[in-house]
Amino acid sequence: MDQTKEQDEDYGYNLFPERKKSKYKKGSIGESLFTFNHKCHIMLQFAIQTSPYAKLLLGAMRNSGCTVYEGRHFSCEDCDGTVSGGFDATTSQIVLCQNNIRQQAHMNRVVTHELIHAFDHCRAHVNWFSNLKHLACSEIRAANLSGDCSFINELSRLNFGLNQHHQECVRSRALRSILAVRNISREKAEKVVDEVFDSCFHDHAPFGRIPHSKKDAKFAYREFESRDRYYGNL
């Protein structure tokens, strides 16, 4: 197999080496002592128990028949230094890059971002591997709804702007995510993002709005809980 074809068929798995082969057996002493695995699991638990973004997404997936179990659907692993997480559609599993996630706020954003991909996988049966428009749409939604492009995060990146800055951030981060996992030209990736941007940017499910801040996410979660209780009593 030539190198180009091998890259074409990789789908970004080279960024997650433990998806193919783990150095330590899961649960081994080596894993506990020589990786950030224990800290990763603690931060994950805190995220799914306290983050309104994550709690809403987990509830929405449960209501859609795709209940998420921490031990089955999350995996803390060492990854390439350029990524923080990923969604493995072949196993319906979220990968959290334990060697690159050092702070709780970062963990909360990564969990939310990847849960949006998992939610899309559940509700829309996304064709991740052969339909670039499906991939682009989910990346746009994840960048838009996860807090990746919040004012605080953009400020920390020294990115400033007023006129449609949020949209440009979403476009840029979606494009970067696609190029990380597909061996395609930047021009082709930009064309695909442009083709689906408007419809996917305005798809706010399951939040019902763009949660620009944790306060927005809390409001969205309370509304979700109210709807859930209402329909549960019918």
* CA atoms within a 13 Å half-sphere pointing along the CA-CB vector of 34: 10
Residue 64 identity: S
Listing DSSP states for 20-89 in one string gives T--SS-TT-HHHHHHSSHHHHHHHHHHHHHH-HHHHHHHHHHHHTT----HHHHEEEE---TT-SEEEET
Give the orientation angle of helix 104-124 with respect to helix 37-50, to 10 degrees: 70
- Do the beta carbons of residue 55 and residue 225 sit within 8 Å? no
Q: Which residue has the tokens 């699991």?
A: 41
Which sequence positions are flagged as catalytic?
A: 114
How far, in Å, are 165, 166, 167 from residue 162 at the CA level?
5, 8, 10
